[in-house]
Amino acid sequence: MKPSQAFGVFVRCVGLILVLAAAQHFFTGLLLLVEPNSRSNAPVSHLFLYGVVLLVIGWYLLRGAPYIVNFAYPHADSDAKDDS
């Protein structure tokens, strides 16, 4: 496995963690909507907004984040062409 491919796997793992964190924020927000007297330091709108931001960033990273990987390894595409 090339370093650029390993970095891509790392980026996707971070994306998965962010998507799972977004799901947790959405779930917590739904619980606060159902039981508003629960103990929470954050308003429901903040939980949903933060969940949306995490979901968008996580989804981008989960899809491979081509701009980030190409920035970190600018010649990875030319290496792949040489190997085939």
Q: Report the distance separating Cα 8 and Cα 3, nearest Å.
A: 9
Q: Which amino acid is at 40?
A: S
Return the structure tokens found at 73.
């390894």
pLDDT digits (tens, 9 = 90+) for 13-48: 999 999 999 999 999 888 888 887 767 677 888 889
pTM of the model: 0.78
What is the model's pLDDT at position 24? Answer: 93
Contact between 55 and 20 under an 8 Å Cβ cutoff? The reply is no
Domain boundaries, the chain: 10-76
Q: List CB contacts of 1: < 8 A, sequence separation 6 or more.
A: 9
